[in-house]
Structure 1
């Protein structure tokens, strides 16, 4: 600490030797700074206060029906981004600031100066904004603030309308896109259903229950077929043990009659008539009965030809036993029933095989249909959501059109300043005086470092590197003491005069301004 004090003392002694240089520079800097401050042009500030009311009675009532953005946040962001180059250029045209601008350089300088000097202050609590601008002409400053206020209100309303229009256009484009996707998905589902209509049916078919029911019907038909075959075989065995009795038989109108075959043919034809009443021509029972009739007719023609060849055309080999005739008829009926049941069994078996083949395809088809339905459901959900958002956006736009985004209330209109707001000469003059003193102090320190001198034994020892054995002090004579006193008085008078000059300048400015 002692070394630091000693070093500071050494610096001050060295600076004291060049105090008059510092005094001269202080006076020069002070006077020049005072003249510059006095010559600075006056600036008149115009300001306006505007309150943005973002509360609306309709907004709580429309909650959930209309899109309600954060108006407070949007207004705050607007206040921070209002001073942009496009807005400043628009402001220049609105305030007629470009009347004296002739070159592009001057216009760029004007834009830069306005961007720097325009001020927008806000209070985040109550949405109260302060717009201000300072200019050398008070009426121009007022005109700029008025234009800035109009631009602030227009940007708040127009920007929101543009955002709403852009949002609606985007939603409309998305709706059209999803309409196309939805149509394509519907067409894919329709085409898939048409291709697999036989398997899908009406969507409510149960192949397991159908296969079970058809299996029961097949088993029942097979049982009936076995019963019919067994009955026919029993009749055939009974007919084998009977001895037919041939009686003369008159020929029929159509030729030689074969009673056995004619009876079977008549029985089958009656059965065919009954089947045609219940089924179509392509039914298996009908086709089987017709095939059996054709076979019997062929057999009859063969026997007739044989009888004609043997000369027995006038007598038929008719068995005279009535019981035998009944058994023959019963055998024909049994043959017809067996053929009908055989056709039914074949039809049931074919249906069962077809159902089993379709049942094996059902899981794959259902999985593909589920995928198509899932894609359709996703597109349908997005489409419905977009339509709902479009309606919400339309309601929001109508609500904003009726009530407005926010209510801009001008608390204080732009003022016309009568007194300059800048520069603050009463503050700048003392600052200039202090700056002169600091400049003089810095000059004396710089000269003392450029032209150093030894002022104490320690400094001499540090410079020479030799030990100092002693010092010889200078005797203070009356003449030297008197000269030193006069120097101190002169330096003090200079400082006092400098301070008085600064004070006089401040008082003069107060009198001029006040």
Structure 2
């Protein structure tokens, strides 16, 4: 602690030794600072206030039909991005600030200075914006603010329309792209369906469903075939019994007409069945082909039986049976109908067998085909959905643009027109003058400190011995007489007077400056 106090005392003695040089430096800095403060040109501020009304009665009514942008956010973003180089250049031309600029460097410097001076502030949360600019000429400042108000309103009115047009153009391009995609997807889907037309069903079943349906139809057809065969066998037994009963009735006249009621009834029944089949199917249908084949076989059988009966009647005329009873004819008709039904069901079973075999063979490639169809269908549905959404958005964008044209983005109201302040707002000389005084005092102290360090003097014998590393033999003290003491007092008074004079002069200058500013206000 003693060593620190000793160092401080030594520094203070060195500064006191060069006090007059420091005081001269303080006076010089004070004079230069005062002149500099008074030489700074006065700046006047021009300002205007704008209220942005973002409410519209049409917007709640058009909710859900048109896209409604966040107007408050747009205006806030516009206020933050308005001070750009193109806008500042336009502002300089509108306010005629570039009339005295002869070079590009001067133009760039003017643009930078205006950009740093312009202010756009949002006052609170009521969409009130303050536009301000400072300049040495109040009329220029006012003209700049007027031009800035015009640019602010014009930029806000044109941005929404430009965004709407850009959005519509982008959506139109996307719609054209998706139209091409839809056409390509439809072509691929059509080609796939034509290539696999045999595997398609009206019910929309997959291959497993088709195989199950065919299997069920085959099982039902086989059941009906067994039922028809049982019915035919029963009718045949009854017919055989009737023939046995009528076997004793012989023909007495060999020339009597020979009839085959059983075969005739079967042929009639088969022909009626053929007519019914032709009403439902074509000539190439298996049931129709089978019915025609059965009729031909019955007619051949009839001819053979007539020939055999004729031969038997001629050989033994008394052995020809009489088959013209009503029971025999009815049983013959039933037998013929059963034969027709059995033949028809056999053809149906054969057809279903073929379909079942074909379906089982198609099952081997069905998963790949179904996966390909699902992929094609999914791609088509996605493109179709996106296309419909884009068309809907295009209509919404068109309606939004019409809404903006009808109502405008916002209503700009000029609350306070551009006005320049009657007195300068800068510089604040009442604040700069005390700062200049403090700078002067700091400069004086700094000069004395530097001189004390540059031209160091030992004020303590022990410190000198320790610094030089030499033994101390003795110390000679200075005896101050009355004249020297009187001179020291006189110098101290002069120094204090000079220092006080500096403070007093600054005080008088501050008072005069204060009175002048109040009179100007």
Task: Please indicate the TM-score interval, normalised by the length of the shorter structure.
Answer: 0.7 to 0.9
Contact 1:229 1:338 in 2 (8 A): no
Match among 446, 451, 456 for residue 452 of structure 1:
456
**How far apart are residue 459 of structure 1 and its match?**
2.9
How big is each residue's C-alpha offset from its partner over 1:140-161, in whole Å with a ceiling of 9 and x where there is no partner?
1111111112112222222222
Relative distance call for 1:313 and 1:223 in structure 2 (3 A) is closer
**How far apart are residue 306 of structure 1 and its match?**
11
Q: Secondary structure of 1:46's match?
A: strand
- Tell me the distance in 2 between the aligned counterparts of 1:344 and 1:167: 68
- Give the match for residue 495 of structure 2: 491
Q: Give TM-score scaled by structure 1 length.
A: 0.81
How big is each residue's C-alpha offset from its partner over 1:424-453, in whole Å with a ceiling of 9 and x where there is no partner?
333333322322221121111112112211
1:424 aligns with 2:428: yes
Contact 1:218 1:349 in 2 (8 A): no
What are the ranges of 5 or more consecutive residues in structure 1 without an aligned counterpart?
Answer: 252-256
**How far apart are residue 222 of structure 1 and its match?**
2.4
Contact 1:276 1:286 in 2 (8 A): yes
- Tell me the distance in 2 between the aligned counterparts of 1:267 and 1:210: 35
Contact 1:193 1:200 in 2 (8 A): no
How big is each residue's C-alpha offset from its partner over 1:222-250, in whole Å with a ceiling of 9 and x where there is no partner?
22124324644775799799699687755
Relative distance call for 1:378 and 1:419 in structure 2 (3 A) is same
**How far apart are residue 477 of structure 1 and its match?**
0.8
Match among 435, 446, 455 for residue 442 of structure 1:
446
Match among 271, 274, 280 for residue 273 of structure 1:
271
Match among 289, 292, 314 for residue 290 of structure 1:
292
- Tell me the distance in 2 between the aligned counterparts of 1:170 and 1:428: 58
- Give the match for residue 46 of structure 2: 46
- Give the match for residue 501 of structure 1: 505
- Tell me the distance in 1 between the aligned counterparts of 2:315 and 2:75: 120
Contact 2:95 2:143 in 1 (8 A): yes
- Give the match for residue 126 of structure 2: 126
Relative distance call for 1:138 and 1:285 in structure 2 (3 A) is closer
Q: Secondary structure of 1:323's match?
A: coil
- Give the match for residue 224 of structure 2: 220
- Tell me the distance in 1 between the aligned counterparts of 2:57 and 2:462: 85
How big is each residue's C-alpha offset from its partner over 1:444-501, in whole Å with a ceiling of 9 and x where there is no partner?
1112112211122453244134676875432221111122112112222221232233
- Give the match for residue 343 of structure 2: 342
- Tell me the distance in 2 between the aligned counterparts of 1:322 and 1:307: 9
Aligned residues: 504
- Tell me the distance in 2 between the aligned counterparts of 1:153 and 1:279: 86
Q: Give TM-score scaled by structure 2 length.
A: 0.80
- Tell me the distance in 2 between the aligned counterparts of 1:82 and 1:319: 130
Most deviating of 266-275 and 358-367: 358-367
Relative distance call for 1:230 and 1:62 in structure 2 (3 A) is closer
- Tell me the distance in 1 between the aligned counterparts of 2:96 and 2:170: 38
**How far apart are residue 512 of structure 1 and its match?**
5.5
Q: Secondary structure of 1:341's match?
A: helix
Q: Secondary structure of 2:49's match?
A: strand
How big is each residue's C-alpha offset from its partner over 1:16-43, in whole Å with a ceiling of 9 and x where there is no partner?
1111221222222222233333333332
- Tell me the distance in 2 between the aligned counterparts of 1:292 and 1:358: 30
- Tell me the distance in 2 between the aligned counterparts of 1:305 and 1:234: 25
Relative distance call for 1:84 and 1:13 in structure 2 (3 A) is same
- Give the match for residue 398 of structure 1: 402
Most deviating of 357-366 and 109-118: 357-366
Most deviating of 176-185 and 120-129: 176-185
CA RMSD of aligned residues (A): 4.2
Most deviating of 470-479 and 94-103: 470-479
- Tell me the distance in 2 between the aligned counterparts of 1:166 and 1:76: 21
Contact 2:122 2:128 in 1 (8 A): yes
How big is each residue's C-alpha offset from its partner over 1:324-359, in whole Å with a ceiling of 9 and x where there is no partner?
577799679846743551342231342365268559
- Give the match for residue 254 of structure 1: none
